[in-house]
Structure 1
Amino acid sequence: MEWIFITLASLLAGFVDAIVGGGGLVMVPALFAAFPGAPPATLLGTNKAASVWGTAMATWQYSRRVQVRWSAMLPAAAAGFVGSFGGAWAVTVMSAEFLRKLLPLVLLGVLAYTLAKKELGRHHTPRFEGRAEALAAGAIGLLIGFYDGFFGPGTGSFFVFLFVRLLGYDFLNASASAKLLNCATNIAAIALFASKGHVWWHYAVTLAVANVAGSLLGTHLALKHGTGFVRGIFIVVVGTLILKTGYDAFLR
């Protein structure tokens, strides 16, 4: 029953994550509910080992239909990899408790700004070109990559918001670019978890297949319905993140 439960959760996580990020909202609680006695690092490592395949599939699907700005995004992905590995190392020597309490407040600001700016992310008008865009995207990759390795919740949504707000992308293009960077940060985390034996590969394979199936469906809907649909899902996911992280930080 646990296998069926977490496989269905992985399917839903892949669907949500492909559109706007936030698949961990579904998958991580499902793993902790199914295996309450397991080491947290093992559950997190297993989640990453499964979800990276859905993220990679979404990246490939988007790249066929959306004009990803590779000259900026590939260096940004490399920066995200370095940042994520650095964040994963940092969490071994310092506490992430301050982020636990700060995160819901930051997400609330992101949601309020998105709702207030009705035209935010509706039009794709990149603000930078060439080296300037690569540097700006690289800074975002390094910062959010470090956050992903150090703490993690909402990484995909932060990538999307910053690409929209700072780089001038629409929500569809921002989501496509965010997938590439999320792939890089996930690979860095997997490398760390796997090196310490914190991945259940026998579960990860099944979960990966389900995650890819959900990712294909989510990507199809995002490409079919466009920026307005992605913006709507972004608002729902960020709102849910606020409730989840707020509960974890102040009530649990």
Structure 2
Amino acid sequence: MALRLLVASSPAEREAARQVEARVFLQAFGNTPELLEQEYGAYEERSRFIAVIDDASGEALGTARLITSGADPVKTLLDVAGDPWQLPVAESLGTVGLAAAEVWDVATLAVDPRYRAGAAGAEVSVALCHGIWRFARNCGVPGMVTILDDRVRRLVRAMGLPWHPMAGATSQPYLGSPASTPCVFVVATAEAEVYGSRPDLAPALDHGRLASITVDPADLAPHRGTLAEAPAEPEAPLPPRRDTTGWRPPTARRTEEVATPPGV
């Protein structure tokens, strides 16, 4: 397999990301495609997908759906403000120096079960985590929020990633997960925390130094992944029409004066 980490931009890349997201969330939490549409459809224009793609098959091995900040709060903040958490969002984010209007949402994180085991499988998870962090930095995002299934939270914490519970958050059932916790990630302090807790993984998480997955900085550029359609190519101009207002048939004299091409 020729694996590449990227922000899905083409329709094929976005569809591959959606397919692995749908498979994993159906298997793990019983989330049907209809439920995913109900939960995330309203955020379609603000969704970007970090994905590990097999260039040979076009298949995605894993993906993370990011919801960018906008006029309305991101999904996680709306959800944690309601049941079962009822968190005071502004106060909770304020404890780590963030504001609701500026954070992005890691709304989903999915790795195909076939690629979770062994060193190669673990690298897919590491690559996605690097992609989320690097893309956020490239876009100037100061912080991110998410609601993590507690099993996944233990995994990312073991990797050294500083996803901390939001102030006042507890573990509660959420969208098919028996136990999930709202978490926050502060970009400004993340590097020191990663190097302090997992210096062995820091080069991969911070700089994307991976053994089996290609990381091209251009594939994580800020402009990638938007739904804005490319401008239509302008139609080629038609050749100018001949001015036939003074046209007259050629005379025999003019025909005789045409030079004969060499060799004829």
* Larger RCO (CA under 8 A, 6+ residues apart): 1
Q: Which structure has more strand as a fraction of its residues?
A: 2
Same fold, TM-score > 0.5, yes or no: no
- Greater gyration radius: 2
State TM-score, norm by structure 1: 0.30
